[in-house]
Amino acid sequence: MRKSGYILALVITLGLFCASSVKALAAPHFVFSPTTKAVSSGEELELDVKMESGTVKVAGADALVEYDTTRLDFVSVTAVTSSFSYETAAFKATQPKSNQVYVNMMKPDTESMLNSSVVSGVVYKIKFRAKSSGTATVKFVCTDAMINESNILEMSGQVPEDKISCTENVNGSYEVGAVGGITNPTSTPRATTTAATLPKTGSTGVTVGLMIMGTIGMIGAWFLKAL
């Protein structure tokens, strides 16, 4: 009976470890940090653009950022290259839209793209200046598998393939005209629904985690019955 109890405890421990590992391996995405902040008119707002590639080895990436021009003026965009060996480029777009900022990071040649690594951290900093009161949104323009928008690329043979999960991107919302604190980012996206569509049912990680916990429960019940 004591031996069965030890086995049950081991099964539960392993199950919890597996469930936490599934949650940690998020799909590739971008995050603004901070995600929310209150600023006064005329004050600068500096945002970190973070990349979380999960298990994807990043051959290159683009972030197409769209912002509210009625509330914010673009100031500057700067690459953060201290931790990553990528060639970078960044600029404020003028065509087709003037309310977008484009940032890019790419390995210099095919060989280095094939030998790339995972990325987790800040890759760019973008500065805006607040100008008029209200809520200013800053978001990643993103459609899965559309490489002319935000993307995170991994080599598939000799060809780069977009691996980004647009629904995992964490956008920003900022209050202009108020003074307040900062909310730290989370990798859990905020669900959005409309009257014409049903909300999504959740991520694969959550589903797999629930399956693991259900299996643990069944095994635990079997052991308790055996006792």
pLDDT tens-place string over residues 144-183: 888 889 999 999 888 999 999 999 999 999 999 955 545 4
Q: What is the pLDDT of residue 88?
A: 86
Mean pLDDT is highest, among 42-46, 179-183, 222-226, for: 42-46
Alpha-carbon gap, residue 187 to 185, rounded angstroms:
7
Instruction: Tell me the average pLDDT across 43-68.
Output: 96
Q: Do 174 and 37 form a contact (C-beta atoms < 8 A)?
A: yes
If you average pLDDT over residues 102-118, what whole number do you get?
A: 90
Residue 2: left (phi > 0), alpha (psi -120 to 50), or beta?
Answer: alpha
Residue 210 structure tokens: 């629930």
Higher pLDDT, 125 or 215: 125
| 8 A C-beta contact, residue 60 and residue 107 | yes
CATH of 26-184, one of 3.90.1150.10, 3.30.750.200, 1.10.10.10, 2.60.40.680: 2.60.40.680
- Confidence band, pLDDT 50/70/90 cuts, at residue 41: very high
Whether the per-residue pLDDT at 225 is higher than 80: the answer is no
Has residue 46 got a pLDDT over 80?
A: yes
Ordered by start, the domain boundaries in the chain are 26-184
pLDDT of residue 84: 64
Please tell me the pTM assigned to this model: 0.69
